[in-house]
Amino acid sequence: MARKKQDFSIREAVPGDEAEIARLIALLAEYERAPERCEATPERVREQLFGERPAGWALLAEAKGEVVAFALYFLSFSTWLCKPGLYLEDLFVVPEHRKRGIGGALMRELARICVERGYGRMEWTCLEWNELAKSQYRKIGAEPMEEWRTWRMEGKPIEELAAGLPHQREAAAPREAPETAARKAGEGPLPRVTIYTDGGCSPNPGTGGWAAVLMSENRRKELAGGEVHTTNNRMELLAAISALEHLRKPCEVELYTDSEYVKRGITEWLPKWKRAGWSRGKNPLKNVELWKRLDAARERHRVKWRWVRGHAGNTENERADELCQEQIDRLKKKRK
């Protein structure tokens, strides 16, 4: 079924492709700053896509014999249309092969599958802030389902529901830091600040850089720094720490990070670590001194933590990434 598209081709994934698909999924997780959440292995891919009861299917894009992109989809069902639909779970093109029309070619092939097989619709999700992606989707005739909100369960809540048990919600870190003395004293609203942070390392571990873009009503500030021997996660943490510590007065902060490690750490995992004496049970907590510093830095402010997809067209996230890379290049050049 391979169809030549310029200097690449699109084909269906077949048994034997599981290692390449697992590799691309791992690259996607790394790209989105969440490698620790990726559980895909060639064995699991083989079982789920090529086993007796496939849970989904994949399309692959090849360029000069190399698999450079994939689209993974499965079937949904519309009760009103009384027809199956195609749900696109993930589409990923490795960065060095972008702007060649590969993503568009994968979308066209998915649409052709829908028409050929009589599916009623084709659906996927998109982050609300990603205006670039939304504009591209509208160009091909897609419309947002603005009146709908996706709900999700995974892990323990599913097990509890299946067993008929009430959900035991674990204590989570508050979405906002405690109100400051100034707020309690009724001194009026706090200054509002929007922050975009990024951190990176090349290689990881290796030379790293961090950056933060701070914006208020009439001011803009860019911060950046780096270390010769560090890790990606340490740089992501230091970016958020440096931004919050830079604020001299208590503020209402909306902080955007493309690191799931930082976002989930501060909003989900931190209370457990603190109850366990700043540890992960029997295991020591990595970067503990930075987590303590971040915990202290946020206490002066009311912080809303937001996750943003990296390298996806968000102007300020891209600027933070650019500043971060400049620091890495500076340190590497200095060492020569």
Helix ranges restricted to H, the chain? 18-31, 42-50, 102-117, 131-139, 156-162, 181-184, 232-246, 260-264, 270-275, 288-298, 315-335
pLDDT band at 312 (very low <50, low <70, confident <90, very high): confident
Cβ-Cβ contacts under 8 Å for 212 (sequence gap 6 or more): 195, 196, 197, 198, 222, 223, 224, 239, 240, 242, 243, 246, 320
**What's the CA gap between 273 and 282, in Å, rounded?**
11
Helices (H) and strands (E) in the chain, counts: 11, 13
Identify the CA nearest to 18 among candidates 63, 62, 67: 67
User: pTM of the entire structure?
Assistant: 0.57
User: What type of residue is 206?
Assistant: G
Q: Are 85 and 94 in contact (CB under 8 A)?
A: no
Q: Which two tokens stand for residue 4?
A: 């030549």
Residues 203-219 have pLDDT tens digits of: 999 999 999 999 998 89
Q: Which residue has the tokens 């975009």?
A: 196
Q: Catalogue the active-site residues.
A: 198-199, 236, 258, 311, 321
Identify the CA nearest to 13 among candidates 63, 67, 90: 67
- Please tell me whether residue 219 adopts helix, strand or coil conformation: coil
Mean pLDDT across the chain: 89
pLDDT band at 30 (very low <50, low <70, confident <90, very high): confident
Instruction: Please state the rounded mean pLDDT for residues 298-306.
Output: 93
Provide the pLDDT for residue 178. Answer: 44
Find residue 122's DSSP bridge partners. 86
Residues 129-170 have pLDDT tens digits of: 667 778 888 889 999 887 787 888 888 889 889 999 888 765
β-pairing, 252-257 vs 302-307, is parallel
Provide the pLDDT for residue 37. Answer: 83
All domains of the chain, ordered by start, with CATH?
3-125 (3.40.630.30), 181-335 (3.30.420.10)
Q: What is the largest CA-CA distance in the chain?
A: 69
The rounded radius of gyration (Å) of the Cα atoms in the chain is 23
**What's the CA gap between 224 and 199, in Å, rounded?**
9
- Please tell me whether residue 3 adopts helix, strand or coil conformation: strand
Q: Which helix (H) or strand (E) holds 224?
A: strand 220-230
Cβ-Cβ contacts under 8 Å for 137 (sequence gap 6 or more): 126
pLDDT band at 88 (very low <50, low <70, confident <90, very high): very high
**What's the CA gap between 134 and 126, in Å, rounded?**
7
Identify the CA nearest to 144 among candidates 153, 155, 152, 136: 136
